[in-house]
Amino acid sequence: TGFFAVFPLLYMVSPRTAHRVVGYLEEEAVTSNTHFIGEIDAGRIENIKAPEITVAYWNLDPESTLRDVVLAVRADEALHRDTNHHFSDRIRAKRESLFEDMDTNSNKPHIKY
């Protein structure tokens, strides 16, 4: 599709903008999944038993329903949204390397807050 043709070019020109765009796309996914949950809750979409493949992939309870799957997907999209906005912010602040935040005064690395 056009996105996959244009996005690499955008990333080469401006990684910060590319991460921001992905963050906004992921936000739309979060919003869409929130509406999907609303449709399930309102009874307009049947809350069927979750397919086995989704239970396995998302590590859900075997008795999970479609609503549980959508909640897991929404949480994953929210994490992607936050991660991409975080990367964009780091690039803007000229702090692209995550190693800059590592505590090297310890025998095991951990992130300094």
pTM of the model: 0.80
Residue 8 CB: number of other CB atoms within 10 A?
11
Q: What is the pLDDT of residues 6-36, one digit of tens each?
A: 999 999 999 999 999 999 999 999 999 999 9
Both tokens assigned to 42 = 């309102």
Does residue 52 contact residue 64 with C-beta atoms inside 8 Å?
no
Does residue 110 contact residue 103 with C-beta atoms inside 8 Å?
yes
The per-residue pLDDT for 65 is: 98
Q: Look-up: residue for tokens 């949950």?
A: 37
Q: What is the pLDDT of residues 38-74, one digit of tens each?
A: 999 999 999 999 999 999 999 999 999 999 999 999 9
